[in-house]
Amino acid sequence: MALSAAALLTRLQVYDGRAVSMLGEIEAEYGGEAAYLDAVIALAAHDQADVSSGATWLIKAALERGEVLSAAQSEALWDEIPAIRYWQAQLHICQSAAYLSFSADGAATMDRWLTPLLHHDRPFLRAWSVDALCRIAVQHPEYGTAARDAARAAAKDSTASVRARVRQLGDVLADI
């Protein structure tokens, strides 16, 4: 079935934020389409939480299975980033950072967006925002000090999952 942005939006609008199997069905149906990544990137900052969360989950899943964003797709994602405001969608973007190549503008956009997330109420979002900042610093050393400072602060976080994520960043931190 040929992909249309409207069809993808319709499918994501019935996603309940929990049934990941539904997202897998969307991915199976549309994932091979040439316009697939463009369409999910365009929905990443949608004003409906479950649409935004579903779209960013689909982006993360595509990257995890080896898809690579083109320069134009990366720039489109950087354009969407500031408007991604739902925590699940933010988490998916942070978890995707390990698979992304950051332009100078993309790194700056992400840095501004990540800064408040480093202090978010949700521990996983705190943990993965540190991870994302460290991934940026590997590609753009000018963010190294901020990344190391964020990692040091997270290593003292009251939540074990945040501290664990920082421990898992050992090799990444060594590359900064």
pLDDT at 56: 98
Domain boundary assignment for the chain: 1-84, 102-176
Q: What is the DSSP string of 91-113?
A: HHHHHHGGG----HHHHHHHHHH
Q: Which backbone phi and psi does 66 adopt, to 5 degrees?
A: 110, 0
Q: Tell me if 126 sits within 8 A of 159, measured CB to CB.
A: yes
Instruction: Give the model's confidence band at 7: pLDDT under 50 very low, under 70 low, under 90 confident, else very high.
Output: confident
| Structure tokens that stand for 163 in this block | 């501290």
Q: What is the DSSP letter of 175?
A: T
Cα 14 to chain centroid, rounded: 22
Q: What is the pLDDT of residues 74-113, one digit of tens each?
A: 999 999 999 999 999 999 999 999 999 999 999 999 999 9
- pLDDT tens track for 117-162: 999 999 999 999 999 999 999 999 999 999 999 999 999 999 999 9
Could you give the CA distance from residue 137 to residue 120 in angstroms, rounded to a whole number?
Answer: 20
Compute the distance between CA of residue 126 and CA of residue 161 in angstroms, rounded to an integer: 9
pTM for this predicted structure: 0.94
